[in-house]
Amino acid sequence: MEDLESYPVLLKASAVAVLCITLTAFLYGVTMNAKRRKLPPGPFPWPIIGNIPSVGTHPHQTYVDLAKKYGDIFTLYIGSARLVVVTNAALAKEVLLVQDAKFAHRPIYDLMYTCIKYLNPDGDSSFSCGLWGPKAREMRQICDRHFMLPRRVEATRSSRMEEVWRTVGLIEKQAQAGKPIDLRHQLEELALRLSCRSAFNKAFVGSEKSGDSTLSSDVFWRLGREHSKLLVEQNPSDVIPFLKPLGDVFGVNKKWQDVYFPFLESSSRLQDWYRKNAPNNADVEDELDLDYLEVLMRKAKEGSVPESAVNEQNVEVMIAGADTNAVTLEWSLLELLRHPDMMQKLRAEIDGKFGDSSPVEEESLVELSYLQSVVKETLRLHHPAPLSIPHYNTEDTMIGGYLIPAGTSIITDLYAIQRNPADWGEDALEFNPDRFLTKDVNVLGSSDLQYLPFSAGRRICPGRQIAVRGIALTLAALVHAFDWEAIPGHELSIVEAAGGLNCRPINALTLRALSRPHVSLYH
């Protein structure tokens, strides 16, 4: 009987408890919604996983669609990690230039923690990954002096021409044998050799079978492609905090170790080569007379640069420089094959300048306006790294009238910006080099950031000067020396391959090369 009498009391207590829980949940929801109203809008995140299902296999393309629904700045949640995406030039300028100091960091605490643990083991000495501070600034200054100063850019001109001539010779041999040209392979090896020659003034590249080289091109690119995929593959433990105690249950750390440690071993072998073969360079006073790696080794010996940073920066320069150049060259030749009239126009310009009396010379390429336009248009329409690496702020700020709380990862969608019809016209999605014949835009980027092939601000690509020279020289030489034909059954598709920081065509470019009389000029 007493149990029955106590039933209303229990019922009331339960009702009060349910009411309290409901009210708490309601107030929490109101509070969260109020905070979200201050943030850029975006799709509502799922519990635990956030908006991961919405991102898809080609995030830069997905973000264009999301921008149509939510505006040019919107918020996503990758697990628990907050990500803000900007998709127009004005907002990109705010992030990359106006408030550059606030957004100069990388998301080292979330979203990319596993990645940066391997790319930046010292924590703050990487000029491309991690927090931006005194060490990162010093590393960036060393890199800029070596790769941006006119004296250094000019000093590596002859090595660029040597490597391009070498590639022309290799293609000629295959063409004479009637073999199809695996152009992706040729361009990747060339890009790696150019990157090495810029940093070390020696290629250090050979075949995997020979075993006599410091760097194997085949191994490098096999690891490089996996490296590119890992850069955009979040470790679930990074974005879903309660998974951290499980350790490397998803195997992402193991993948990074398998990729990064061979790179470090190659870098160590490069240092050993310098210690053995260039000991007298220790007496050279002007660092501009030294190779990039020699400067880093000297700084490490002096104690101004961490030992770990030498290998780290060495690997960064090799990967970044080689990958983007190879991708851009493949896209440019693919588009020219898809537009024979443009190929003919480019060839006529090159022949008109060099004819059958001289191979293409780098110092004369600035006079070829259509060549420069083809390079610009390729970098615009097919940005080699359409999302780049996310930025990160360590203090609250405002962008576009919205709150960007400290600890937010922010992405500038370079793909969306450079394809924006409002800036580039109704044919923004078409390959049209002619637009740059009337549009005065520097190939390195525009001040309004409608065109930013190398990004902008503190994290801008340090090798941009050397990159555009190498791309223009290679493209001009290949068009000058050969006629190119598509092979039946090999589709010239502009569909992008999924996965990876750099976007390649889905099909590796394989063509038939027919030697022109000019090819003898490259012997």
Residue 264: the pLDDT is: 81
What is the value of pTM for the model shown? 0.88
Please state the rounded mean pLDDT for residues 382-408.
94
Tokens representing 391? 């930025």
Pairing of strands 81-86, 181-182: unpaired
192 contacts 322 by C-beta, under 8 angstroms? yes
Please state the rounded mean pLDDT for residues 95-116.
83
Residue 29: the pLDDT is: 46
Mean pLDDT (the chain, rounded): 85
CA angle 453, 221, 273 (to 5 degrees): 100
- Residue count of the chain: 523
Cα–Cα distance between 443 and 448 in angstroms, integer?
A: 13
Residue ranges for the known binding site are 461
Tokens representing 78? 């990758």
Cα–Cα distance between 97 and 119 in angstroms, integer?
A: 25
Tell the CATH topology of 39-522: Cytochrome p450 (1.10.630)
403 contacts 75 by C-beta, under 8 angstroms? no
Q: Is the pLDDT of residue 118 over 80?
A: no
The more confident residue out of 148 and 495 is 495
Residue ranges for the known binding site for heme are 461
Question: In the structure, what pLDDT confidence band is assigned to residue 395 with cuts at 50, 70 and 90?
Answer: very high
Residue 120: the pLDDT is: 65
DSSP-derived 3-state class of residue 448: coil
Q: In what helix (H) or strand (E) does residue 511 lie, and over which residues does it extend?
A: strand 510-515
Of the listed ranges 186-195, 309-318, 322-331, 473-482, the least confidently predicted one is: 309-318
Q: Is the pLDDT of residue 502 over 50?
A: yes
Of the listed ranges 274-278, 316-320, 375-379, the least confidently predicted one is: 316-320
Using a pLDDT cut of 90, give the percent of the chain over it. Answer: 48
Residue 6: the pLDDT is: 47
Backbone φ and ψ for 46, nearest 5 degrees, come out as: -75, 150
Beta-carbon contacts of residue 12 (< 8 Å; ≥ 6 apart): none
Residue 221: the pLDDT is: 76
DSSP-derived 3-state class of residue 441: coil
